[in-house]
Amino acid sequence: MEFLSQPWHWSVSGVLIALTMLALLLLGKEFGVSSNLRTMCTLVGAGRRHDFFRIDWRAQTWNLVFAAGAILGGFIATTWLANPDPVAISAETTAYLNSVGIDYPAGEGFVPDELYAMDRLLQPLNWLFLVVGGFLIGFGTRWAGGCTSGHAISGLANLQLPSLVAVIGFFIGGLVMTWLILPFLLPYLTAAA
């Protein structure tokens, strides 16, 4: 079991993601997680107001079940296959994060407590940060017609030029946020209450 609890090598993970896509293709489906966000809008009645959500959600049930599996997989991996050590990110990244107030490596887990701990949500700026981040994910993926699974994996594997454009967009946004905005924002977000 020890090889399961260690972090998996990137090549193993890459192959398994490709096989996930293959399994869904052979089942007559398309690997794309962000479509579930649209289905959820339909489920809460958005189709009554906007055509875009007037879809047969039953045809998307498989994808919602897939997302439920992704939750279950996260539970299994952290409950029985957990690596006791913090994620071994590079020394440069660690030094940068420390400089903007993120105490790393501290504790376990995959997200910084300074942004995700429940008591941080009492601070308006931290609350707003997660809300805006989530909003951009939902708005952006639907505008682009897909996310990392739909464009970066499925689209690029199918040699789709539009998907390459989308992935370039992912990086433009990611780089602007990481280099031009987060270095100035994170000190405020990580400051003690």
Partner 1 sequence: MKFLTYLGIGTIFGIVMTKSEAVSWFRIQEMFRFESFHMYGIIGVAVVVGALLVALLKRFDVHAIDGSELRLKPKAHTYRRYIYGGTLFGLGWAMTGACPGPLFTLLGHGILSIVLVIASAVLGTYVYGAFRGRLPH
Residues 46-65 that bind partner 1 (CB under 8 A): 46, 49-50, 52-53, 62-63, 65
Find the shortest distance in angstroms from Cβ 17 to partner 1.
4
User: Min. distance of Cβ 56 from partner 1 in angstroms?
Assistant: 16
Residue 188 lies near partner 1 (rule: CB under 8 A): no
Give 165 or 191: the residue with its C-beta nearer to partner 1: 165
Distance CA 107, CA 161 (A): 42
Tell me if 21 contacts partner 1 by CB under 8 A.
yes
User: Measured between alpha carbons, how far is residue 165 from residues 35, 146, 156 in Å?
Assistant: 19, 12, 10
Among 57, 66, 101, 123, binds partner 1 (CB under 8 A): 66
DSSP 94-131: HHHHHHTT---S-SSSSS-HHHHSGGGGGSHHHHHHHH
Q: Find tokens 């998907």 and name the residue.
A: 163
Write out the binding residues for partner 1, residues 93-112 only, by CB under 8 A: 93, 96-97, 104, 109-112
φ/ψ of residue 118, rounded to 5: -60, -35
Site of tokens 């690997």: 31
d(CA 38, CA 52): 9
Count of residues in contact with partner 1, rule CB under 8 A: 124
Taking the complex as a whole, the smallest distance from the CB of residue 39 to partner 1 amounts, in Å, to 9
Residues 122-181 that bind partner 1 (CB under 8 A): 127, 129-145, 147-149, 151-163, 165-179, 181
